[in-house]
């Protein structure tokens, strides 16, 4: 289906709360999770999905990244990638929703 089509299939709403489960990212890129499954998406696909959500039109009232577990890795790449994706998403929220909704909620890590 593709990222844009998948995000486009989400019903319109006034508010969105986003839970991003890092298990969706391919374990060759993000190993620090409890349920690594081969064939997941890349960092760039995850970033694109989050940017498309920010463009959707409803207010992002909060978001979280879950299933990050640094105990399963050696170099903290999962924590770093998750933090980078959270920053990317926050930037997309400010870019696409800043004028309509000037105060997005700060991210949480789970």
89 pLDDT above the threshold of 90: yes
pLDDT for 75 beyond 90: no
Record the pTM.
0.84
How far, in Å, CA of 41 to CA of 62, rounded?
23
Tokens of 27: 């374990």
Number of domains the chain is built from = 1
Model confidence pLDDT, tens digit, residues 58-71: 999 999 999 999 88
- For residue 54, what are its two tokens? 């920010």
Residue identified by tokens 């105990």 is 71
Domain that holds residue 105: 3-109
Note the pLDDT of residue 109. Answer: 62
CATH number of the domain encompassing residue 91 = 3.40.800.10
Q: Would you call 11 helix, strand, or coil by DSSP?
A: coil
pLDDT at 28: 92
Name residues whose C-beta falls within 8 Å of residue 51's C-beta, 6 or more positions apart in sequence. 88, 89, 92, 96
């Amino acid at each position: 289906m593709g990222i844009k089509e998948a995000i486009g299939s989400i019903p319109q709403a006034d508010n969105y709360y986003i839970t991003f489960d890092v298990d969706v990212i391919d374990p060759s890129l993000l190993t620090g999770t409890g349920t690594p499954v081969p064939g997941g998406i890349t960092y760039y696909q995850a970033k694109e999905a989050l940017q498309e959500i920010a463009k959707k039109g409803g207010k992002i009232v909060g978001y979280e990244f879950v299933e990050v577990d640094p105990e399963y890795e050696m170099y903290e790449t999962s924590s770093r990638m998750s933090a980078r994706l959270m920053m990317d998403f926050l930037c997309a929220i400010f870019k696409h929703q800043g004028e309509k909704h000037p105060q997005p909620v700060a991210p949480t890590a789970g």
